[in-house]
Structure 1
Amino acid sequence: MAMGFLGFALFLFISLDLDLDQGSTSSASAASSSSTSQNVEITYGTVLKLMHEKTKFRLHSHDVPYGSGSGQQSVTGFPNVDDSNSYWIVRPEPDTSAKQGDTIPSGTIIRLQHMRTRKWLHSHLHASPISGNLEVSCFGGEPESDTGDYWRLIIEGSGKTWKQDQKIRLQHVDTGGYLHSHDKKYARIAGGQQEVCGVREKCADNVWLAAEGVYLPITESK
């Protein structure tokens, strides 16, 4: 099972279009692929799953629109570990000097790009379908991104840069809402999957951890 996951992860790494810095590429053999590694730095270009700390569901999206609110691509919490629609690429804010392999300090604005559909994790003032909080969706595409895709990384505790074993919050820049999930589940199209939404209060339900993924090594300065 472990070897199978490693092989799949390396395939993902090789096949991805990680275009942050074409002049700075890393070999697949140098990437870390693990769900249990300690103190692994998360860098731009890393492909990962985000695990909701309280329920252990993974942040997930798929090519299914919301039936209410914005009608944009839905985002949910998914119960199973082995699902390829739960992979996200960690990207920087546009027009910055950040490049693939750079570490990510607490307080940095990042974007998360859904690997399968290439859309961006997004939020706005539409109401979420179940709880009526802020809707979280996927929107845009490779050349289309706006401030609704910006999330501020907040590391819990004393950590200065994002590592795999650290609890984090993601605060949406435009609305102030924290990326949030809970035990409220969909009954129909996404049956068994949890609602993901935004809430403006800090609480235990908006803490996340980096889980399975292909973690790119830090790019050494020349």
Structure 2
Amino acid sequence: MALSCFALSVFIFLSFGSDSTSHLSASAAASEGVEITYGTVLKLMHEKTKFRLHSHEVPYGSGSGQQSVTSFPNVDDSNSYWIVRPLPGTSAKQGDTIKSGTIIRLQHMRTRRWLHSHLHASPISGNLEVSGFGGDTESDTGDYWRLLIEGSGKTWKQDQRIRLQHVDTGGYLNSHDKKYTRIAGGQQEVCGVRDKRADNVWLAAEGVYLPVSESK
């Protein structure tokens, strides 16, 4: 489904230097099964718990001390929006579809930090810490995630079961029902684990989905 002019304007405003208080409504989500392209702004829903991948300007009190990443129970929080980006220096451009096996980056819409992982221990489970790192002009290989589509699909679509495998550590983006009581009360830990589990399956949920580019 093509975006309305209003939805597209909202996307452009938010993606390229928006005010941090701006908010995307879940009503901007496209219909089921639409292809996800670079530049899409979306929420990733943890399949097992239905919480959304989330970040905020709260640092971890241990490990790297970088911006914390959690999963959040409410659907309507603007801190759960992420922009799908290609790797720097590639020919991929906004509007291109994304195939299984492609390495991507996810940029947190409001703080501009990248979904990141490394060998620091996560605060609750002691697995691989997942954090928010860098910014518009700072990114490294710790921000690289391989998209793995579950089932027979070859191109990433909304509501499709996926895993994200961290390139540097091999860990899968994971969440579970263990919750924080201090830095983010009621929110679940997000971490990396090195084996495939039901806890590391995600789906693209609410968002602004850009039309597929006609020029390849």
TM-score relative to the length of structure 1: 0.88
RMSD over equivalenced CA pairs, Å: 1.9
> Structure 1: which amino acid aligns with 2:167?
V
> Structure 1: which amino acid aligns with 2:28?
S
Q: Cα gap change, 1:69/1:9 in structure 2, threshold over 3 Å: closer, same or farther?
A: farther
Structure 2 regions of 5+ residues with no counterpart? 18-26
Pair 1:16-2:11 in alignment: no
> Structure 1: which amino acid aligns with 2:200?
N
Taking the aligned partners of 2:118 and 2:139, their CA distance within structure 1 comes to 14
Deviations 1:193-213 (A, max 9, x none): 000000001010000000000
Q: Cα gap change, 1:7/1:101 in structure 2, threshold over 3 Å: closer, same or farther?
A: closer
Asked if 2 retains the 8 angstrom alpha-carbon contact of 1:105 and 1:161, the reply is yes
Taking the aligned partners of 1:8 and 1:70, their CA distance within structure 2 comes to 40
**What is the total number of aligned residue pairs between the two structures?**
204
SS of 1:16's partner is: helix
| Equivalent residues in 2 for 1:15-94, closer than 5 Å | 15-18=13-16, 33-34=28-29, 37-94=31-88
Question: Match for 1:160 among 145, 154, 159?
Answer: 154
Asked if 2 retains the 8 angstrom alpha-carbon contact of 1:9 and 1:213, the reply is no
Structure 1 regions of 5+ residues with no counterpart? 1-5, 20-31
Asked if 2 retains the 8 angstrom alpha-carbon contact of 1:18 and 1:45, the reply is no
Q: Cα gap change, 1:60/1:9 in structure 2, threshold over 3 Å: closer, same or farther?
A: farther
Distance apart, 1:33 and its partner CA: 3.0
Asked if 2 retains the 8 angstrom alpha-carbon contact of 1:181 and 1:206, the reply is yes
Question: Match for 2:99 among 92, 95, 105?
Answer: 105
User: Which residue pairs with 1:27 in the alignment?
Assistant: none
Distance apart, 1:38 and its partner CA: 1.9
SS of 1:176's partner is: coil
Deviations 1:175-210 (A, max 9, x none): 000000000000123000000000001010000000
Runs of 4+ in 1 over 4 A off after TM superposition: 6-11
Distance apart, 1:17 and its partner CA: 3.5
Question: Match for 2:202 among 188, 200, 208?
Answer: 208
Taking the aligned partners of 2:178 and 2:6, their CA distance within structure 1 comes to 31
Taking the aligned partners of 1:121 and 1:50, their CA distance within structure 2 comes to 12
User: Which residue pairs with 2:193 in the alignment?
Assistant: 199
Taking the aligned partners of 2:62 and 2:193, their CA distance within structure 1 comes to 18
Identity %: 85
Asked if 1 retains the 8 angstrom alpha-carbon contact of 2:15 and 2:109, the reply is no
